[in-house]
């Protein structure tokens, strides 16, 4: 009987070999590679490796972007297309300020295009103050200039510099319906505890009568929602391997 040999295309595909932690750490340096949560967890054996990677002077990592988080964030914004009446004729304008290397906006736009082609426009801007390397297109604009130029529906800020609050200017921008802060919250190292988060503990002094203080975002007519399902997928530089809990995603929405 004739025996036919299998052509290469008929052979069952070889399962892809899993990368070793060393290989993964090397691959994570490629800005185009969006790792999974599992791949990040696997790549770092200890605190030293983690610190070396996240606090690298050339390529600092603030938010450790991962596939699952970006998918969930994109799904969140798809919901906003309908909520804010956007369409292909009038795409939802999402402006990132302080965008650093531009990776977040890049992946977000990619995922939104897959889900709702032509219905969103994500723009990455940064003042350039920190001189971070730009891996993707980032327009050099200060946060107030960027809002003036783009009249965004939604503003995103990832890792707002410590004690520098840009949220009050975002709230003043009439087109803004919502802004999303990503990073440490409240008493953490992003933004200002009171101006950004409405945490009064730094304002208390001995003469303080302890009266009710209204958080600035509330006084400006915004309401806060902690997006816990998104936050549960986050990993950031101030976490340690195996314990991911410092970085959160919080929405501030203009009340109707």
Ligand X SMILES: C[S@@+](CC[C@H](N)C(=O)[O-])C[C@H]1O[C@@H](n2cnc3c(N)ncnc32)[C@H](O)[C@@H]1O
Min separation Cβ 3 and ligand X, Å:
59
Question: What character string, x for contact with ligand X (CB under 6 A) and - otherwise, covers 114-153?
Answer: ------------xxxxx-x---------xx----------
Min separation Cβ 154 and ligand X, Å:
15
Using the minimum distance from each CB to ligand X, give the nearer residue, 39 or 63.
63
**Is residue 59 near ligand X by the rule CB under 6 A?**
no
Q: How many CB atoms lie within 10 A of CB 50?
A: 20
Residue from 66, 158, 196, 231 touching ligand X (CB under 6 A): that is 158
Min separation Cβ 10 and ligand X, Å:
46
As a residue count, the chain comes to 256
Question: What character string, x for contact with ligand X (CB under 6 A) and - otherwise, covers 79-118?
Answer: ------------------xxxx------------------
Min separation Cβ 142 and ligand X, Å:
4
**Is residue 63 near ligand X by the rule CB under 6 A?**
yes
Min separation Cβ 161 and ligand X, Å:
5
Using the minimum distance from each CB to ligand X, give the nearer residue, 25 or 103.
103
**Is residue 176 near ligand X by the rule CB under 6 A?**
no
Q: Which spans of this chain sit near ligand X (rule: CB under 6 A)?
A: 62-63, 97-100, 126-130, 132, 142-143, 158-159, 161, 166
């Amino acid at each position: 009987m004739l025996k036919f040999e299998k052509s290469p295309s008929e052979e069952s595909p070889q399962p892809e070999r899993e990368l070793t932690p060393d290989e993964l750490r090397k691959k994570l340096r490629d800005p185009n590679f969006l790792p999974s949560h599992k791949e990040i967890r696997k790549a770092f054996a200890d605190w030293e490796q983690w610190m070396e990677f996240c606090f690298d002077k050339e390529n600092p990592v603030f938010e450790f972007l991962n596939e699952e988080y970006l998918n969930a964030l994109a799904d969140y914004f798809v919901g906003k297309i309908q909520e804010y009446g956007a369409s292909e004729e009038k795409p939802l304008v999402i402006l990132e300020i302080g965008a650093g290397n531009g990776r977040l906006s890049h992946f977000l736009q990619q995922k939104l295009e897959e889900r709702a082609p032509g219905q969103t426009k994500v723009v990455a801007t940064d003042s350039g103050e920190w001189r971070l390397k730009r891996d993707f297109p980032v327009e050099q604009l200060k946060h107030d200039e960027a809002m003036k130029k783009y009249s965004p529906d939604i503003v995103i800020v990832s890792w707002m510099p410590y004690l520098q609050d840009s949220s009050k200017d975002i709230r003043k921008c009439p087109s803004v319906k919502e802004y999303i802060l990503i990073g440490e919250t409240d008493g953490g190292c992003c933004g200002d505890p009171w101006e950004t988060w409405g945490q009064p503990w730094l304002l208390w002094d001995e003469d303080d009568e302890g009266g009710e203080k209204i958080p600035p975002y509330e006084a400006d007519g915004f309401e806060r929602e902690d997006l816990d399902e998104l936050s549960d997928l986050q990993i950031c530089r101030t976490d340690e391997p195996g314990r991911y809990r410092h970085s959160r995603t919080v929405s501030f929405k203009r009340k109707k």
